[in-house]
Structure formats: C-alpha cells, structure tokens
Structure 1
Amino acid sequence: MKEAGCDDESTNGVVVMVEPYSQTEQIQHVIYRILDANLDRAREGLRIIEEWCRFGLNNAQLALECKHLRQEIANWHTAQMRAARDTLGDAGTELSHPQEEQRANIKSLLQANFGRVQEAMRVLEEYGKLTHPNMGKAFKQMRYRVYTLESTLLGYQRHQLLLRSRLYLVTSQSENLLSTVEAALKGGLTLLQYRDKIGDDTVRLEQAMKLRQLCHSYGALFIMNDRVDLALAVDADGVHLGQQDMPIAIARQLLGPQRLIGRSTTNSKEMQGAIADGADYIGVGPVYETPTKVGKAAVGVEYVSYAAKNSPIPWFAIGGIDPNNINEVIDAGAQRVAVVRSLMEAEQPTLVTQYFLSQLYRVKANA
C-alpha cells in the first residue's frame, strides 16, 4: 500500500490519498463494536417480546416468529464482531433515561422494546453495508418483519381483551366524566366508548386524549364513537360506527387491521351485513326503550336471542339495560352488555360495575 500523497503509475500520475492501514483497521474495529452492540440489543429486545407472546398470550405463532428473528440475527454475529466488544471501555454503559427506570404497563414495555429492536436493526442495516454486501438488505427485510409483528401483536392483544370484556360503558354528557369513568375502571371495566354528540372537536379531542390515557393506565380498551379521524388522532383502540356512519371497509382502510371496528345493529339483516363487512363486534339493540336513542323503537329480547344463536363475533346487548333487568337480558342469551345511564348516572359507579360483572360472569362467553 502506498503512503498518502505518493504518485503511482497505475493512476497516471494522479496523486491518490490513501488512508494508513492502521487507521482503516481502527475504523473497522469501531464498526464491529457497533454491529456487536446492536446485534445484542436487537436479540435482547426480541426475547422480551417473545416471552410475553409465549407466557402472556399463549400464542405459539407469534413466539415462533420472535424466535426465528433472533436466530437469523445470531447468524450474522461473527467472531470478529464479538472479539471487538469492549464493555469496560464503552462510554454508553452508564447512560440512562428516567423513562427506562420503570414501565407503566405491558403495552408500554412492549412498545419500548419494539422501538429498541427497530432502532437496532436500522443501525445494523446501515453499518452492515460497510461489512457485507447482503447484510444491509437482510436487516432491512427483518426490520419490516418486526413492524408487521408489532402490528399483529397489538391487534391480537386488542382482540383478546375484547373477547374477555363483558361490560361495555358508553359515555354520555357529564360534569364528572373522568371521575365516573375511573370509578368504573376501578370496578373492573375493560371497554369504554367515548360518545359526545354535542361538544365541538376541540373539546372532544381533549376529552378523548384524557380518557384514552386513563383507560390504558388501567389496561382497558378505548373506543371512539363515530369519528375515525379522532380515533387516529388520539391513538384509540378502535371506533364504533352507526348504520349511517362511514362504511366499515373505508374505516378499515384508514384504521388498519390492528384496530377494532364495531357496528350498531337493530335487526338480523343489519347484523349479517356488519359481519360480512368485517366488523370486530356489534351492538345488539336497543333492547329496551332509552332516551339515548330517541325515536328508536326497542327491539326486545327476541333480537338478543337471535344474536345468541347466530352471531359468530362478539356482540353486546345495549339499550336501557340496568341492574333491574340485566338478568332478563342474560336469560335471553346475552353474555356481554353495553350500558350508558346505569353507570354514568350511578351514585357509586364502582359498585354498579362490580354488580354487572358479577352477573355476567355467571355465564360463559362463547364468541
């Protein structure tokens, strides 16, 4: 190798600046350290995600995808990269951030580790291009697989929580909105829909943000009524649509497959249409007359019985249901119910929530 600044006949007299060999070797050593650290970081993050898929969700398919990704990453971890490791000399080992000291819930833990894996893979994609012609391409493909895994996992968790939910609170106008909702959450509520037909969008957005944060802090799902745009703006778990609202197919295009979409139905035709359109759950009612649905006739428990026999997806009986008639609805075949006034106007929402759940847990949910 010629020293920097020397002429070489092969370059027709052009002066070529060549890095000293020792400097090139030093740079390669640094690259190996970067690759080593991020290969470990990606595998560690995936292992944390894999453990939840395996033990928390009992989902072998998702756990297996995590395992396959970890093994593919390990195949790129060469002896040269491991030999370049210098833990004692790593200036970043003492660096930390307050947000890393604790996790609010499983969702935040998973999001943090998905972010960790994705960032590590982006580093591996770029620095890998300096080491192997196929490494950058391989980690780009793996990074997109991790994006898909994250979307699938989040959607799966939402659907699992939906399946476990027996009681669905739909909010109404209230000066004590947040405190009432939190009281219900303390009682075991796991599914909330924010419904506001009067306020302007500024108020709706502010309230929706607060309610979504509150629900997620209790591990509950937050659904936005009608408004797909606001659902996206506040990162809601889904949206509930009436018969006159946006078609489910359009909402699905906007929301993606990982968020939930519910549809109100009042008869068998609407039910079958919602199922065919891809709704994740449906409302069945109004079972009894209710001021929440002014001018809409009650469908009675007959439609509840029809839903119990014919709906392959989760459904919630709704409309005028309260502690006095809940057992009549259950006897008609309901395993899940949605309520408004009986909780929003309750003097003790926590106790009323617990009572509803105690009655609903007497029956085993199927769909």
Structure 2
Amino acid sequence: MNPIDLSLYLVLDPDQCGGLDGMVQSALTAAQHGATVVQLRAPQWKKRQWLAAAVALKAALAPTGAKLIINDHVDIALAVDADGVHVGQSDLPVAAVRRLLGPDKIVGLSTSNAAQLAAVPLELIDYIGVGPVYPTGTKADASPVIGAADFAAMMAAKACPAVAIGGIALGRAAPLIRAGADGVAVVSAICGQPDVAKATLALLNEIKEARA
C-alpha cells in the first residue's frame, strides 16, 4: 500500500474555479496552505484539455508536496507521471488500473455503501473515497446520500485509509474525522471561494481540532 495523507483532499471543478487558470491557481494556493491531495476532475472536458490541465497542475504542485491524482483517465496520469488515479464503481476496473500504473502509484476507489466497501480489492488500492455523505450539487451522477450514521458504520468496517466526500463544507468535516475518516474531500468549500487560502486554513484547523 502506497502511503497518502488524505487530510484535506481538493477535487477541482473547472466551472467553479473559472477554467484552467483558475483551477491551477486554486490548487496551488490550497496546496501552499496545507491541502494534501489535489484531484483533477473535469468530466465535460476533451482529452487535450485534460492533458493541458494535468501538465500545468503537475508543474504547479511539484514544490508543494501535494499529491496529484487524476480522476478516471489512466492515460492522462501516465502521460504526466501523476501520483495516481481515482476511479468510480463504473470506471475502468481497479485490476486494470493497477496493471497499467504499476505497483508504485496511488489508486483510489469510490464506495457508497456497505456492499461496495466489503468488495474493495484491498491488495490493489491505496485508499477509498466514501460518499456522498451529504447532499451535493457538484456531481450530477452521484450515488444516494449515505448520511452520518451509515458513514460511521462504514468507517468502523473499513480496512484501508478512507476519505469522506460529498457536500462537505466548513463545519461538516469534524464529525466525519471523529467517525474515523482519514480526511475529507471538498470541492466548493475551496473552489470558487473568494479567499482560497483562508478557506483551506479554516478546513485544516477544523480537521486538526477534530483529531485532537
């Protein structure tokens, strides 16, 4: 299992960030202020846009130590030597992703219920995303909301690092960390915020206080 600090996991949204330049600047600012992972996710984009964004993000994040994860597109991850790939239940199977990436890259898998959690191929993945915990407007094809009680049950049953995702805003991270999440993934809590640095630091502070 490849180590990854999931504490504050930023999932980029090109619409909320204001396009490519806004995505890169938001990612850089967030990483400079403590975000540990940045995922490139732009489902409406063409491949060349994905590649341009991945190249720019790779260069911007290199000095920060934040991991660059590509959503779904293994070819883009390979093209820019990203840190890893995150896939959903209907994307390329984890076994194929691992075979293409090799043993040293990070592979994450989305889960949204107890059955999916029980079926996670632990020998092939490095972390799971669990959600949506709360209602979210940033993913049109999101699975049904899990809710706090079922999320806590999934955390009690998990056998690998897990990051919570879905509708997580300031004030909603602490209960998830206390329930056993290794980190929280956010979109609009950072993307599109008037002060990305301030938003990032506020979330990190909430996470640290919950862990204490």
Q: What is the TM-score with the length of structure 2 in the denominator?
A: 0.90
Give the structure 2 partner of residue 198 of structure 1: 44
The match for 1:354 among 197, 201, 205 is 201
Offset, 1:363: 4.4
| Aligned-residue CA RMSD (Å) | 1.8
Give the structure 2 partner of residue 342 of structure 1: 189
Contact preservation (8 Å) 1:242, 1:263: yes
Identical-residue share of aligned pairs (%) = 35
Structure 1 residue 230 corresponds to structure 2 residue 76: yes
Give the structure 2 partner of residue 109 of structure 1: none
Gaps of 5+ in 2: none
**Amino acid paired to 1:336:** G
| Distance (Å, rounded) in 2 between the aligned partners of 1:335 and 1:190 | 12
Structure 1 residue 241 corresponds to structure 2 residue 87: yes
Q: Please list the CA deviations of residues 155-206 of structure 1 after superposition, one character each: whole Å capped at 9, or x if unmatched.
A: x8xx33x1x3301000001321111111101211121100011111111101
Give the structure 2 partner of residue 269 of structure 1: 115
**Amino acid paired to 1:279:** I
Contact preservation (8 Å) 1:316, 1:338: yes
Q: Please list the CA deviations of residues 208-262 of structure 1 after superposition, one character each: whole Å capped at 9, or x if unmatched.
A: 0110121222111100000111110110110000100111111111100000100
Gaps of 5+ in 1: 1-155
Contact preservation (8 Å) 2:178, 2:211: no
Find the residue that maps to 1:168 and give its secondary structure. strand
Find the residue that maps to 1:324 and give its secondary structure. coil
Find the residue that maps to 1:185 and give its secondary structure. helix
**Amino acid paired to 2:33:** G
Offset, 1:364: 4.4
Moved over 4 A (4+): none
Q: Whose relative contact order is higher, 1 or 2, with alpha carbons under 8 Å and at least 6 apart? A: 2
Give the structure 1 partner of residue 151 of structure 2: 304
**Amino acid paired to 1:253:** R
**Amino acid paired to 2:170:** P
Give the structure 1 partner of residue 10 of structure 2: 169
| Distance (Å, rounded) in 1 between the aligned partners of 2:109 and 2:150 | 15
Q: What is the TM-score with the length of structure 1 in the denominator?
A: 0.53
Contact preservation (8 Å) 1:304, 1:334: no
**Amino acid paired to 1:188:** G
| Distance (Å, rounded) in 1 between the aligned partners of 2:211 and 2:136 | 27
Give the structure 1 partner of residue 129 of structure 2: 283
